[in-house]
Amino acid sequence: MTDATTALLEFIQQYPRLLVLTGAGISTDSGIPDYRDQQGQWKRPQPVQHPDFMGCEHTRQRYWGRSLVGWPVMRDARPNPAHSALATLEQLGHMSLLVTQNVDGLHQRAGSEKVVDLHGRSDQVVCMSCSYRCSRDETHQRSAELNPEFIHYTATTAPDGDADLEVDFSRFRIPECDRCGGILKPDVVFFGDNVPKQRVADSLNALEAADGLLVIGSSLMVYSGFRFCRKAQEWNKPIAALTLGKTRADELLSLKLNAPITPLLQGVLNGLGQPPQPAANPVIRQPHRAAGGAPSITPESALPAPAAE
């Protein structure tokens, strides 16, 4: 058992009822790209902003056009062993609530039941005028039918159902609400929008009742996640972070584990007498999202390989 695995196992045993906060780094082993590098910096231009989406038709054309390429990757992603490991920790009574910043729904598909989707779910679409709801797949199919000339494009997948596609979107026909003709938007919190107050309140109530906070796969650069560390510090709750790289909360952490997520969580399950979790499907290996306290433990397997000369 590695030092990092031992440290997290002892943290869980010392603080047995944890609120767990997850970010994009836990889903990269499922083939979904993350937003930031190990320094917490953007890997690509920032994603769509809520005011731009609502106020600019071209922004919506570009969003839904790129989604024709990017959404199938999100839709077809499967939970990886890290998701399954957290579902097992919940079943063992070590997790009072799982709050995820991700919008992929993979925690629920892995078997977790006590989940708050802080930023919503990308598999649902809502009308911004009449609140009509439908599935993302339905909207995706309508987009394809309205824009057959766009379905042949391929591009590098970007986070949250986006794709790095740069073409002329001026003739892209945007699917509208079937009921009122209003603007359809994925039921997620875009950058520049606010997380629903009740969702935040429920999560903070669970944190106040928990023994500690465990952050997995998040750099915490966005305040909607960082606020939980601020509150944990205010309430004298210990905070551990498992993630590769820098986090916004480094100075607040009781334990920082700068390590790959999946093998460490599987090692913890072994330490708790649970069998390793099999992968749900073959995965695309990508670096975990940047993020990660005091003391800091970096296993040799997490160190970057030397650059080729």
**Looking at this protein, which amino acid is placed at residue 287?**
P
Separation CA 108–CA 128 (nearest Å): 26
Please indicate whether residue 119 is annotated as part of the active site. Answer: yes
Q: What is 110-146 written as a DSSP string?
A: HT--SEEETTEEEEEEEETTT--EEEHHHHHHHHHHH
Are 262 and 302 in contact, with CB atoms under 8 Å apart? no
What are the φ and ψ backbone dihedral angles of 245, each rounded to 5 degrees?
105, -165
Alpha-helical runs (H) found in 19-100: 50-55, 57-76, 81-91
Cα four-point dihedral sign 31, 105, 254, 223:
positive
Cα atoms in the 13 Å half-sphere on the side-chain side of 281: 11
Q: Judge contact between 42 and 35, C-beta under 8 A.
A: yes
Q: 3-class DSSP state for residue 245?
A: coil
Catalytic residue among 83, 94, 107, 119: 119
Please, what sign has the CA dihedral across residues 258, 263, 267, 268? Answer: positive
Hey, what amino acid is at 254?
Answer: S
Contacts of 235 by beta carbon, 8 Å cutoff, 6+ apart: 207, 208
Active-site annotation, residues: 119
